[in-house]
Amino acid sequence: NANCTMLNGLPVCQCQTCYEGDNCTQLIRKRYTGSSDNGQFYNAIDQCIPGFTDTTFAYTVKLSPADICSEFIIESFGAFGSPAINVRCVLTGITTFNISPQTNPGWGLSVRNWATEEGSIDTILQKVTVPYIVEYYDNTTDSCKVVLSLQ
């Protein structure tokens, strides 16, 4: 999981995409999804503009590994009702990620990342912050930020 070269007789290694740690054996996404392949649950507090305090939603999500090592899924995202929305997140760094624009005909909406802020994890507090924009079928939008706390 590392690419190594010799420099002045010493190996210099860099972890391949998706990996971190002294021996490049730890998958970065496990910071979000936990050590098992089943994922882990978080309590979500979701606040939407205007004011980030006018509209607050509390719900539970599960962060699960995706089929690509640099991605994870937020299951039951946004508490939008049925069908549940599962949003794919793409790692951009060890503690950051983006939500690329995505939609599903059954959702009646689309979701994307804010242009000015990435999602992130605070590994000390075990909190994940997800800034996102939801666009509804009538082209209205809400800008929201959800904070996920590990259960």
Task: Give DSSP secondary structure letters for 5-69.
Answer: EEETTEEEEEEPTTEESTTS-EETTHHHH-SSTT-EEEEEEEEESSTTTSEEEEEEEEEEE-SST
Q: Average pLDDT of 116-129?
A: 94
- Determine which helix (DSSP H) or strand (DSSP E) holds 149, and give its type and residue range: strand 141-150
pLDDT at residue 102 tops 80:
yes
For residue 101 the two structure tokens come to 């624009």
pLDDT score, position 50? 62
Calpha distance 88→73 (Å, rounded): 5
- pLDDT grade for 51, boundaries at 50, 70 and 90: low
**CB-based contact 127:147 (threshold 8 Å):** yes
CA–CA separation, 127 and 134 (whole Å): 21
Overall average pLDDT of the 62-76 stretch? 95
Asked whether residue 105 carries a pLDDT value surpassing 80, the answer given is: no
pTM over 0.85, yes/no: yes
Q: What is the pLDDT of residue 150?
A: 94
Pairing of strands 10-15, 2-7: antiparallel
Give me the mean pLDDT over the 96-113 stretch. Answer: 89
Average pLDDT, the chain: 90
For residues 104-113, average pLDDT: 86
pLDDT at 149 over 60: yes
Question: Which residues make Cβ contacts (< 8 Å) with residue 140, sequence separation at least 6?
Answer: none
pLDDT of residue 139: 87
CB 62 within 8 A of CB 41: yes
Chain centroid, CA 3 distance in Å: 26
